[in-house]
Structure 1
Amino acid sequence: MNISIKLGDLNSGESFFQIKNKQARKKISITLMLSIAASLSFFLPTIVVSNELSESEAIFNWVEKDYFQYFSPAGKESFHASDYFVRYYNESDTYIGTKDGQLYVYGAVFDGLLPLGSISQWLPLATESTSIGKENTIDLIGILKTENIPNDMQIVGNYAYLTFDSGSKALLVVDISTPASPTIIGSVSSIVSGNAFGGGTSSSGFDSIQVEGDVAYVTAGNTLYTIDISTPSLPTIKDKRFSGNTFNYDSRVLRSGKYVYVPDGRDGVKIIDISIPEAPILVNTLVNTVNEFDASAIFIKDSYAYIVNPYGELQIADISSPEFASIIGSADLGAALSPGRLPTISVKGNYAYVTNEVSLNTFDISSPSSPIYVNTNFGLGTFVDINIAGNYAYVASNSTGIQVLNISDPNSPKVVIPNALSARYTSSIEIVNNYAYAMSKKGLDIYRLNTLTMEPANVGFINTPGNAVDIAVSGNYAYVADGREGLQIIDITTPSNPIIKNTVNTLGIATVVKVIGNYAYVVNDASDLHIINISQPESPIIVAELGSLSNSERSSSIDITVADNYVYLVNSNEMIIIDVGIITAPVVVRTLSDSDYIKVSIVENYAYAIDYSESILDIIDISIPGSAEVVGRLKMEREHILSRASEIFVKENYAYITASLPMSKEENAGYGMAVIDIRSASHPIFFKYIRGVGGLLPAVNMDVENIHIDGDYAYTAGGFRGIGILDISTPESPLNVGTVAITENLGGSDRENAHDVTIQGEYAYVASGRGVRVVALP
């Protein structure tokens, strides 16, 4: 297919793949991409979508924003080439295009051309990418290339165990303690028929693996091996093994207690006692007495084994006494599975989730003796494995990589990630903490799960009379700055039933509250400070008031921090330092008017304050508060780091500053966070910029109003998009954990905004404007 077009940025006479800025681009011909796409489209269903060009643009814009690591720089123009609509990104050397209602990407990172399914399947994520639950991403961070395609995998602690049925190695032990750099540390060579360990085996490698403690159990043809992995770098096959004509090639071993369960096709499920690892004993075989069961996959939970076959049948066995285990219930999957397609299964709560090559099928197993088929969800590729974590099902596909479904409502699973853009072929998947470990054609791929948005987990709410904008929690009470209604004191002894116990009139509009010991410090929009004795929360007493602190106009951008008997107050104009050593007689000891400060964070002898209008970070020496002076400054807007800084927190050697309008050197517009190296107080240095995608901030397009630090996590309050959760256990590399919605109905007059959040125990307490929302943390 010969294609030529004319574009304004092409030199005269050049075809479109001869790009003007040749030094910045590789000469990759999009003609090849389109030719391949044209041949592939013959096999793909054609879906006609109205307004296809505008919908394509919407998808392109969304992809370059949320997947900027694969499509950069953003803002490239789209163009027509024959029947295709295409956008090219020279820095990442990647393409995205549509034709006949189908979406494609192309580039080395995708192993060439990667069909992504229909426009209609992607459009909802593109058009609603700023809604709760739509900012989900999976980032490929680590790759381990292996000699052959892995056959099975298990993740235990800091190690991944991979089996291979061909090649020089039958087992690899991989150190994954640093997910971005997986490293092979141990191996077992492939078994050759007739050698010391190979007698009678029909395979040169291993099929399935199950790790328990210091022992790995692997199947290989007709043999079950036990391997000593007490020293992961020196895995050793034990002297004895269970062998005989018992296992099919596709057997997948699963251990529960002192028993191993191996689905063995038409021979049912073998139950083997491994209490003596060197001398396993076959104690039972589960066989369907009515039909040839052809057991293909098994999942064990509590006292039940859930078994599926490729012929449309789910069976449940009571294994409370493995030697006498028996099948007690079954369900006909009907057309949900097609004969000959090997299924996989996972169980959560009262539901079993069964995949085959084309669908995810849900079954109600609340009554094990009478399982019931619920529904079928068809995916975009061929499903070959499933793993469940929390409210999400991670499905491996050998055609489109990893797909993620929200199964919080088992009756209506919803696709939240149609497929990971960086994934192509995935044959098995395991989820551990915030990482997905996937077997691919190349070996082991490790993904970071950035933005798995949590479903609302509201446990309590109380409507306050004013506008709840700030909150502090101490013991069994929450203290709320409630606008014109002053300070509300709320009993949260029962989180599901918060009760207002008292109100303190603070005059003006109460904007900020902090609680230290027996005192609440409340500031209103006129920067007046009120100190309230809350030793008896139901009978609070104002013990001091300090007014006329600022000559500026009233401000809603006020923040205070209390440290070592001093209050540090910022109000969009200055920083006011107040000595509260004598609680009933507070006195101003210093005022700094160097910048229009809006937020301040105190760590030891330094105050870290940010200016909103000019995006300045000032580091202030407060070792002598009355003589506080700016010792370090970073002009972030001038340095093109960010503009309109909105919030700051400090941990160890880094300051984290959120922005409502970043100006990152990556030139990707959007919301996010700058990480500043503050090891030298006099010379703060820009370290890196983190895009505000998904769970890092509650949403992409909004300001963060407040941040609360609790241990290794930072919780951001971000308006109607809820709470963002950031793992800061490694300060230089913060990780997205997710977001928590504070309401299910985000529209109309019922909409709530997370203005402030504080954490106590397993609950987040949110000042939501309308009142206080208590949310159970995931």
Structure 2
Amino acid sequence: VSGNYAYVADYANGLVITDVTDPRNPQEVGHIDTAGHANGVYVSGNHAYIADWLNGLVIVDISDPSSPEKIGHFDTDGGTRGIYVSGDYAYVADTSNGLVIIDVSNPNSPEERGHIDTIYACGVYVSGNYAYIADERNGLVIADVSNPSSPEEVGHIDMGDKAWETFVSEGYAYVADQTNGLVIVDISDSENPEEVGHIDTYSALGVYVSGNYAYVANHVEGLAIIDVSNPSSPGEESYIDTDDLAQGVYVSEGYAYIADQTNGLVIVNVSNPSSPEEVGQIDTGDKACGVYVSGNYAYVADTSNGLVIIDVSNPNSPEERGHIDTIYACGVYVSGNYAYVADLGNGLVIIDVSDPSSPEEIGHFDTDGYAQEVYVSGNYAYIADWLNGLVIVDVSDPRDPKLAGHIDTDGWAHGVYVSGDYAYVADWLNGLVIVDVSDPNNPKLAYDMLWMTFYSVFGM
């Protein structure tokens, strides 16, 4: 998205340009066939740079979005999957051909400047003098690109696949990693975090810790309950299937509330962790991705269906009490009478839920990025804003939220949890980033833990 337009790499259909001035009524305004299969797009100024699979790099003039025009092309030797543009250079993830660096100072005549082999480069992000390469078969490769003509590998982390969510409790971060299962990190020293424990699960996407147990939303495998009384030696206690894809979980007073995508909200009695029992379920309308429980209500971030409020006073018979449309609710946090919704490209939406049957939007803050998750502490909302890093918003007046601070986390911030003076940011390819937020107006990097792909953070 750039300005009022969304630029979509639409595979065999090429580049599609959509006017999103009214997000509720998007209109296609332009299209261009790119000859290959458009896998990725990066917009800079008046140009769109397209990773066009076997057709290499395609450069399109989008100064008139209704009439895009191809002006440049560079054939790479692999299959282009990802692209990032910084300054005069396009960095192309070229699968079996590694990373290709292309000089695009003249978009009409792009030229290769540098190249570095990786096993199977699928994505790339550039920050400062470094390119962070997501390599499907080799984890994260870090290359020094201070001299684009001679890139040099300086670091590598074998990361498995995707770490989706982290729960912070009593000096430990519990990471749900889609390939590696549950990983436990000692964060008692925020400047020197250390992995201390690990247990394989099928496909961990979410985690919540309560007492001696970690409750893992395990995708198609449902809910896994892990004994973490000894963090250095976690052991599986039990497991229960859900009908769809368990993505998020919240535990309260003996019940686990699971955001189960198209199956809605699933409620499991976990008073005996060794023998969990499903007791309730309710369809939420779209794909339940996040859930927060406060009092007798479960607040479900239901993607394009917005925020759904469920009465769970009787967990055996949950009932919808309220609903409010938002653009694309990804995460939700409830504090007092307000629900704070991370609403993707719509930023932060603040909803008065004092009457759960009639929720009302009262505040909004555009975060510039794609709000993935939100955590509220005191008068501040901390937003994981994807490529825009961590955004801190002053919500002392919920009707008039204002920017307090911002920090670029270098990766793709997807999750955040705040404990004391620190915000723990799940920063995708950049791992776990720990930010000192003792002064919310001036957040500072405390530690950057490049050890796996983090996707989300949550804690208590």
Normalising by the smaller structure, the TM-score range is 0.5 to 0.7
8 A Cα contact 1:654 1:732, kept in partner: no
Normalising by the residue count of structure 2, what TM-score does the alignment of the two structures yield?
0.57
Q: Does 1:572 align with 2:303?
A: yes
8 A Cα contact 1:454 1:740, kept in partner: no
- The equivalent of 2:129 in structure 1 is 126
- Where do 1:327-366 residues align within 5 Å? none
- The equivalent of 1:632 in structure 2 is 363
- The equivalent of 1:426 in structure 2 is none
Distance (whole Å) between structure 1 residues aligned to residue 411 and residue 443 of structure 2: 20
Measured after TM superposition, the shift of residue 757 of structure 1 is 4.1
SS at match of 2:357: helix
8 A Cα contact 2:389 2:411, kept in partner: no
1:127-149 Cα shifts (integer Å, max 9, x gaps)? 446798989xxxxxxxxxxxxxx
Measured after TM superposition, the shift of residue 724 of structure 1 is 1.5
- The equivalent of 1:513 in structure 2 is 249
1:185-228 Cα shifts (integer Å, max 9, x gaps)? xxxxxxxxxxxxxxxxxxxxxxxxxxxxxxxxxxxxxxxxxxxx
What is the aligned counterpart of 2:383 among 624, 638, 657?
A: 657
Q: Does 1:740 align with 2:449?
A: yes
Measured after TM superposition, the shift of residue 468 of structure 1 is 0.5
- The equivalent of 1:549 in structure 2 is 284
SS at match of 1:485: coil
Change (3 A) 1:684 1:487: same
SS at match of 1:509: coil
Distance (whole Å) between structure 1 residues aligned to residue 218 and residue 344 of structure 2: 24
- Where do 1:479-628 residues align within 5 Å? 479-546=215-282, 548-550=283-285, 552=286, 555=287, 558-573=289-304, 574-613=306-345, 615-628=346-359
Change (3 A) 1:647 1:523: closer
Change (3 A) 1:596 1:759: closer
**Residue type of the partner of 1:683?**
D
Measured after TM superposition, the shift of residue 515 of structure 1 is 1.0
Q: Does 1:677 align with 2:394?
A: yes
Measured after TM superposition, the shift of residue 454 of structure 1 is 6.3
1:4-63 Cα shifts (integer Å, max 9, x gaps)? xxxxxxxxxxxxxxxxxxxxxxxxxxxxxxxxxxxxxxxxxxxxxxxxxxxxxx99889x
**Residue type of the partner of 1:461?**
H
8 A Cα contact 2:225 2:273, kept in partner: yes
> Could you list the runs of 5+ residues in structure 1 that have no partner in the other structure?
1-57, 63-76, 79-123, 136-405, 407-451, 662-670, 744-752, 761-778
SS at match of 1:495: coil
Q: Does 1:458 align with 2:198?
A: no
- Where do 1:432-447 residues align within 5 Å? none
Measured after TM superposition, the shift of residue 529 of structure 1 is 1.2
Q: Does 1:715 align with 2:432?
A: no
Change (3 A) 1:60 1:484: closer
- Where do 1:465-476 residues align within 5 Å? 465=202, 467-476=203-212
- Where do 1:138-153 residues align within 5 Å? none
8 A Cα contact 1:502 1:539, kept in partner: yes
Distance (whole Å) between structure 2 residues aligned to residue 730 and residue 127 of structure 1: 28
SS at match of 1:721: coil
**Residue type of the partner of 1:596?**
Y
1:233-270 Cα shifts (integer Å, max 9, x gaps)? xxxxxxxxxxxxxxxxxxxxxxxxxxxxxxxxxxxxxx
- Where do 1:53-68 residues align within 5 Å? none
8 A Cα contact 2:284 2:302, kept in partner: no
SS at match of 1:561: strand
Measured after TM superposition, the shift of residue 652 of structure 1 is 2.1
Distance (whole Å) between structure 2 residues aligned to residue 676 and residue 757 of structure 1: 18
- Where do 1:44-123 residues align within 5 Å? none
8 A Cα contact 1:532 1:541, kept in partner: yes
SS at match of 2:201: strand
Distance (whole Å) between structure 1 residues aligned to residue 359 and residue 133 of structure 2: 42
Bigger fraction of residues in strand? 2
- The equivalent of 2:9 in structure 1 is none
Distance (whole Å) between structure 2 residues aligned to residue 478 and residue 706 of structure 1: 18
SS at match of 1:682: coil
**How many residues matched?**
294
Measured after TM superposition, the shift of residue 681 of structure 1 is 1.7
Measured after TM superposition, the shift of residue 504 of structure 1 is 0.6
8 A Cα contact 1:654 1:677, kept in partner: yes
- The equivalent of 1:647 in structure 2 is 373
8 A Cα contact 1:714 1:726, kept in partner: yes
Distance (whole Å) between structure 2 residues aligned to residue 604 and residue 125 of structure 1: 41
Bigger fraction of residues in helix? 1
- The equivalent of 1:691 in structure 2 is 407
Change (3 A) 1:133 1:458: farther
1:137-168 Cα shifts (integer Å, max 9, x gaps)? xxxxxxxxxxxxxxxxxxxxxxxxxxxxxxxx
Normalising by the residue count of structure 1, what TM-score does the alignment of the two structures yield?
0.35
Change (3 A) 1:569 1:59: closer
8 A Cα contact 1:620 1:631, kept in partner: yes
Change (3 A) 1:755 1:129: closer
Aligned residues with identical type, % of pairs: 31
Higher Rg of the two aligned structures: 1
**Residue type of the partner of 2:299?**
Y
Q: CA RMSD in A?
A: 3.5
Distance (whole Å) between structure 2 residues aligned to residue 603 and residue 759 of structure 1: 14
